Amino acid sequence: MSYDISYNWLKELSSLANEYSSNIIQVAGGSALSTGWNVVLDELPFIDALCYSEGEKAMLSLLDSDDILNTISCDPWVTIDKINEGYIPKPLYEDLSKVISVDYDLVDLKSYGMKEAFSPFLINKIKKQFFIVTSRGCPYKCIFCASSSLHGGKMRLADLDSIEKHIENLQSKYGINVLTIYDDQLLINKERAKKFFKILVKFKLRIEMPNGLSVAFFDEELADIMKEAGVDTIYLAVESGSERVLKDIIRKPLNLNKVHPVVKMLQEKGFFVVGFFIFGLPGETEYDRFITREFIKNVAFDWSFFNYATPLRGSELYNICVDNNWIDPDYNKIGSVDMTEYIINSPGINKEELKKFIFDINLDVNFVNNAAFRRGDYQIAKQSFKEVLSRHYEQPFAHFYLSKVLNLLDPGSDQIAHHKSEFSGILREDPQWNNSAIEFNLINK
C-alpha cells in the first residue's frame, strides 16, 4: 500500500483472501502502511501482520521461515498483539546495495510495465521498461512530504557497482530499453550522480526520472553527461514561484533566482524541461498563486504540472491539518485521501476558487502560452499536444493547439480539420469546456 488511496483495494483483497480460506496468513506493507499501521491493523481483522518501513528482507525472512507466526512476531513486523502490549515499531533500513538486484524471473513482466512519464520523446518501439531506486531518503523536510518520517531524514546510497551489474543483467536477459529511476533526491551527491550517469552511457537506454529533481544540483557537466546517458526530459520539483511560500511554508531550500538560468541551460542542450508545482498550502495567498503563474511563464518551462497540497500521513502538513481540524471530515479516514481532490479547510483558501485556478493555469501555461510554441519549436509543441491526447483524448485545448501547430508544420494535412472538428465537438457537448474556450478567446480564432 504505497498511497492511502490503495487502502480500499487492500481491504477488498484481504476479505476475498479470507473468504477463500481463513487459514491464509495475510501480511501487508508499503509506505502508506508505515505511516498508517495502527489504523489499518485496527480496521482490517484478517491482516495478521504489517511490515513497518522497508520490506525486502522482511519478506524474504517470511518466505524462508519454517514458523511464520514466530517470524511475524519479530521486527519489523507489527501485529495487533504486539500493539496491545505497547509495542512501538522500529524501522528497518536496508543496505541498499544488497536489495538492488531484483530477480525479474519471478515477475510477470507484461503486467509490470507503466506508461512513461509525460514527454514528447517517448519510445515508439517495443518498450522494455524497468524501475530502480538507487538511493532512499532525503535530508530536507518539505512540509507536504513524508520522506523524512519514512527514511529517518537520512540518505542511503546503493553502490554504483551493484547498480551497474543489475542493469547489465537487465540488458542481457530482458533487453531493457527504458530505465525509470524513482529516487527522492538522486543528485544530492553530485560526484556520485555524475559517475552514475557515466555508467549508464554504455547501455544506450532512455532514462527517465519522473519524481522530480532539485534545481540546485545542476551544472553544465552533469547536464551533458545526462544527455549522453539517454535523458531527454528533466522534471524539476520547484513547487512554487513565491519565495515566501518556499521559505516560510514549504521550507524548501531553493533559490528561485537559479531556476531560470538552469532551465535555459537545459533547454539549450535539447532537454524538455517540466516543472512541478503545488497549490493550496495553508498560508498561501492569491498573490502567491498569481506570482507563481507569472514565474512559470517567465521561466518558460516546456510543460508544468500542478497538484493540490495533500496532507499525506507522515508529513508535517498532515499533523498541522489534524491539529487545526483542517481536514475535511469526509477525508479524515485512511483510504479516503484522493490526491485529485483538495481536502484542506484552512482559513483564506476557497476550494472552488483554487480548483478553478488550477484548471485555468494548466490551460494558460501549457496550451495558450505554450513555451515551445511561443519560441517556434513546433515539433516539440506538436509532440506535447499529441502526448496529452494519448492520455486524455477529450482535452479540447490539445486538439485546438495541435491543429494550429499542424497548420504551421504541414498546412496540407487532413489532421488539421480532424482536430478542429474534435475541438468543436467537445465544446458542443461540454459547457464547462465551452466556457473555458470563450474565456481564453479560442472561439473563431
Residues of this chain that bind ligand SF4 (CB under 6 A)? 138, 140-142, 145, 147, 184-185, 237, 252
Q: Which is nearer to ligand SF4, 253 or 270 (CB)?
A: 253
| Cβ atoms of residues 150 and 31 within 8 Å | yes
Report how far residue 377's alpha carbon sits from residue 388's, in angstroms, rounded to the nearest whole number: 17
Report how far residue 298's alpha carbon sits from residue 278's, in angstroms, rounded to the nearest whole number: 18
Q: Which is nearer to ligand SF4, 181 or 363 (CB)?
A: 181
Can you read off the three cell numbers belonging to residue 347?
A: 482559513
Q: Which is nearer to ligand SF4, 150 or 300 (CB)?
A: 150
Q: Which is nearer to ligand SF4, 129 or 214 (CB)?
A: 214
Cβ-in-10-Å burial (0-12, 13-18, 19+) of 152 comes to: middle
Report how far residue 423's alpha carbon sits from residue 443's, in angstroms, rounded to the nearest whole number: 10
Report how far residue 370's alpha carbon sits from residue 384's, in angstroms, rounded to the nearest whole number: 10
| Cβ atoms of residues 367 and 397 within 8 Å | yes
Q: Which is nearer to ligand SF4, 2 or 298 (CB)?
A: 2
Name the minimum Å distance from CB 251 to ligand SF4.
Answer: 9
| Cβ atoms of residues 128 and 174 within 8 Å | yes
Q: Which is nearer to ligand SF4, 138 or 170 (CB)?
A: 138
Report how far residue 339's alpha carbon sits from residue 84's, in angstroms, rounded to the nearest whole number: 32
CA atoms within 13 A on the CB side of 227: 16
Q: Which amino acid is at 14?
A: S
Name the minimum Å distance from CB 145 to ligand SF4.
Answer: 3
